[in-house]
């Protein structure tokens, strides 16, 4: 464990940890509406370039990261976890708010070493809905592949030493069903008063109001076969996360079915990439990755990052 922050200082840091497409953007906007809470956006970059032993920080990689670039933060000069602390301190200082939120989708093992006394919110959404939502984002061609990143995120949480953390679980389904009640409990956990302004985030963003109909969509929009296959893939992670199985017999895809799912995945993901970025830059990046020459794709990645910025809500 690295003593970077004092224990008192850590208690003013909130770590929201959960898979992408679990409602984290909506939660970020809600939290940032609170007068005492600063929630700047996704902050995985703060730990992505930190080595596993916490001693070094890939400053070149960090400098090329789109989300870091858009954060307006200064490239840290100190090495390792001290550089991460400098970024957090800079962002907290310019916000002027008491509590600072890290929105994280990975890196739990590093987080618990650097911030063992922070406040942790385990942000969960039914993985069957996350899998379907990933298709709409262009990350997957089917729910079998769409569940992969949820599995990786939850395995990261389960593998970390979380028993000693100050933590609460926040479920997307409960939040959209009873936003005031769930947010009041969250505020009580943090140690601030709930304010109705938290639910006015849609007035300052392009995101819609909280909608209870967005929960458990898999029951209406996925076939029994899709659900059965995803539940096989999830294994005990589904119930460990507190979600009931559908009741369908779990089904392991056969060899031909797996081949079909894999082909569907590649076709859908590449079609979406070509639609967004054209043909040249995605192919250049893929070749550079295959040949382990990432520098060959730096210019292509810069152009794609500019396209992403234009498309962001």
DSSP 242-288: T----SSPP----HHHHHHHHHHHHHHHHHHHHHHH-SHHHHHHHHH
The three-class DSSP label of residue 121 is: strand
The per-residue pLDDT for range 222-247, each reduced to its tens digit, is: 999 999 999 999 999 999 999 999 99
Task: Using CA atoms of 52, 242, 18, 144 in order, give the dihedral in degrees to the nearest 10.
Answer: 90
Question: Can you tell me the distance from the alpha carbon of 31 to that of 177, in angstroms, rounded to the nearest whole number?
Answer: 17
Question: Can you tell me the distance from the alpha carbon of 11 to that of 127, in angstroms, rounded to the nearest whole number?
Answer: 30
How high is the pLDDT of residue 313? Answer: 61
pTM (2 d.p.): 0.94
CB proximity list for 125: less than 8 A, separation 6 or greater: 18, 19, 21, 22, 23, 171, 172, 173
Q: How many Å from the N-terminal Cα to the C-terminal Cα in the chain? A: 38
Question: Can you tell me the distance from the alpha carbon of 235 to that of 246, in angstroms, rounded to the nearest whole number?
Answer: 13
How high is the pLDDT of residue 300? Answer: 96
- Which residues of the chain fall short of a pLDDT of 50? none
> Domain coordinates of the chain in residue numbers?
7-218, 278-313
Whether the CB-CB separation of 135 and 141 falls below 8 Å is answered with yes
Question: Can you tell me the distance from the alpha carbon of 155 to that of 106, in angstroms, rounded to the nearest whole number?
Answer: 10
Whether the CB-CB separation of 87 and 73 falls below 8 Å is answered with yes
How high is the pLDDT of residue 3? Answer: 65
In this structure, whether the domain defined by 7-218 belongs to CATH 3.40.50.1220 is answered with: no
Question: Can you tell me the distance from the alpha carbon of 115 to that of 16, in angstroms, rounded to the nearest whole number?
Answer: 12
- The single residue listed with the structure tokens 């700047």 is 40
How high is the pLDDT of residue 43? Answer: 95
Tell me the pLDDT of the chain averaged across its residues: 94
Token digits of residue 70: 């858009």
Rg (CA), the chain: 20
Closest C-alpha among 122, 107, 119 to residue 54: 107
Closest C-alpha among 17, 281, 256 to residue 123: 17
How high is the pLDDT of residue 5? Answer: 78
Please report which residue ranges of 126-236 form alpha helices under DSSP H.
127-136, 143-146, 148-159, 172-177, 179-190, 218-221, 224-234
Question: Can you tell me the distance from the alpha carbon of 307 to that of 223, in angstroms, rounded to the nearest whole number?
Answer: 34
> Residue 186 phi/psi, 5° resolution?
-65, -45
How high is the pLDDT of residue 249? Answer: 94
């Amino acid at each position: 464990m690295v003593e970077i922050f004092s224990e008192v200082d850590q208690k003013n840091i909130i770590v929201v940890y959960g898979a992408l497409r679990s409602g984290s953007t909506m939660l970020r906007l809600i939290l940032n509406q609170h007068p005492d809470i600063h929630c700047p956006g996704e902050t995985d970059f703060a730990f992505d370039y930190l080595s596993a032993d916490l001693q070094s920080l890939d400053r070149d990689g960090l400098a090329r990261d789109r989300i870091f670039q858009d954060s307006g933060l200064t490239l840290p000069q100190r090495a390792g976890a001290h550089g991460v602390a400098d970024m957090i301190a800079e962002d907290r200082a310019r916000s002027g708010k008491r509590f600072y939120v890290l929105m994280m989708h990975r890196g739990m093992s590093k987080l618990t070493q650097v911030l063992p006394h922070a406040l942790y919110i385990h942000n969960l959404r039914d993985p069957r809905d996350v899998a379907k939502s990933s298709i709409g984002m262009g990350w997957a061609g089917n729910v079998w592949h769409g569940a992969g990143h949820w599995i990786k995120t939850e395995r990261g949480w389960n593998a970390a030493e979380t028993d000693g953390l100050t933590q609460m679980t926040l479920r997307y389904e409960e939040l959209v069903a009873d936003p005031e009640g769930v947010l009041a409990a969250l505020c009580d956990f943090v140690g601030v008063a709930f304010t109705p302004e938290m639910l006015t985030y849609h007035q300052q963003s392009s995101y819609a109001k909280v909608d209870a109909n967005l929960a458990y969509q898999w029951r209406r929009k996925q076939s029994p076969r899709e659900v059965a296959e995803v539940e096989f893939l999830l294994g005990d992670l589904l119930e460990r996360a507190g979600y009931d199985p559908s009741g369908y017999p779990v089904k392991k895809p056969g060899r031909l079915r797996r081949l079909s799912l894999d082909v569907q995945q590649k076709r859908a993901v590449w079609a979406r990439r070509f639609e967004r970025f054209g043909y040249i830059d995605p192919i250049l990046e893929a070749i550079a990755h295959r040949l382990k020459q990432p520098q060959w794709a730096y210019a292509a990645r810069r152009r794609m990052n500019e396209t992403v910025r234009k498309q962001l809500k």
